[in-house]
Structure 1
Amino acid sequence: MNTLPAFAVPQVIPAAYVLVPCLPLLAVAPVAAHAVPLPATAAPPPAVPASASKKDKEVSAKEAPKNPPGAGLPAALVALLRDAAPFRANEVYSTIPSDPLLPVEEETPAPEWYAIMRGRFVGVVDEYLLADFAITGVARGARKAYDTQANALLAFNKALTWGGVEIL
C-alpha cells in the first residue's frame, strides 16, 4: 500500500529535489567486498536466484517490504536522484585522511623535566631541545631528566646548596 499522497507529477523536476540531504539514500545498497562495479544505469540483480524453488519465491515475496525505497516516486525522479547522489554504491572514492599523519602512541609518555646544573644557563626546563642547547658544546655541561617538575626542582636545589650549579 502506497502511503504517499496522490498529486500531479510535474513534467520538469525542480533542482530542490536534488539538494535534500536524505534523498541520496535511495541509491545506497549493500555491496559485497568482491562485487564488480556496475554503471548507474545497469538493471539491479534479481532478488531471488534463478535456481530457487517455487516455495522460496513465495516466501521471499511475502517478506518483501511493502514500500521499498523509491516506491511511489516517479521513475524520472528516482533516476535523477540516483545519478545526483554524491556517494553511489559500487564506486571507489578517495578520501582525505582525518587522522594524524604520525602514529599516536596508546599512552602519552610522561613529560620529562630537565635540571640543568652546568651549562650556558642553569635551571629547570621541560623541553629537551632547550636543555640540550644549554649543554651542547660546553665543556663539563651537566643536565639530568626527571619525571616530574617537583623532582627536577628538588635535585636542582640540592645541587645549588652544594655549590654544584655553575654557568659556563
Structure 2
Amino acid sequence: MTPEGWQQSGIPVTEGDHITVTAGGKVCVDMHSIWENVERRLHYENEWVEKEKIRRDDPEETRVPKQFFTKEERASLILTRPWVGPNGFSLDSYKPSFRSRREHYLIPSEPAGGLVAGIGGKNVPSSGSLFFAGQHNDSIADKSGELWFTVNDVQFDDPTNRELFYDDNIGSFWVKVIVKRK
C-alpha cells in the first residue's frame, strides 16, 4: 500500500473475526524535506567542486565533494522526518512542522507515519473502527466490512481535499493479512 490516503484492501471481515496484520517496507511522510536535502547536498557539492577544483569528468580524479563536507554540512543533511517502517516514528523523536498538528492525526496517540487499518464499507472507515496495525497486530473485528489501510498522518477536514497532507508522502508498505473466521 502507498501512503497517499485510504486504500481498500478487498478483504472482507465479519464482526468477531480474528485479524492478523504483518507489514514491512518504508515510507516518508515529508517528501518536501527529501527534496530540500537533495538541493542542499547539490549546493554543497558544487561549492566544494569550485573550492577544491574537483574535475567532474576526469577519470583520473579520485576526490569527490562529500570528502570535504564539514561537520555542520553533514549534520544539515540528516532528515528530521526520515524514512520509517510500519511502526512509525516515536512520538518522542518525531519533529512535525507544527507540534499542534499532533491532535489532527488520524490516531493522535499512535506513532506518525505508522500503518493504520480500519473497517469500512464503500466509504473510508470511521474513526471508531480504526486500529494501529504497525509491523504486526492481532485484533478482533469490531464490525463487519472491508479492511482499509493508510498511514497515520494529518487529517484535513475539508471535504474537497481530505488528503491534502498525504500529497507529500512517498514509499510503500507491503501488508499481509490473515483472517480467521469466528
User: Where is the helix percentage greater, Structure 1 or Structure 2?
Assistant: 1
TM range (shorter): under 0.3
User: Where is the strand percentage greater, Structure 1 or Structure 2?
Assistant: 2
Instruction: Tell me the TM-score normalized by structure 2.
Output: 0.18
Larger radius of gyration: 1
Instruction: Tell me the TM-score normalized by structure 1.
Output: 0.19
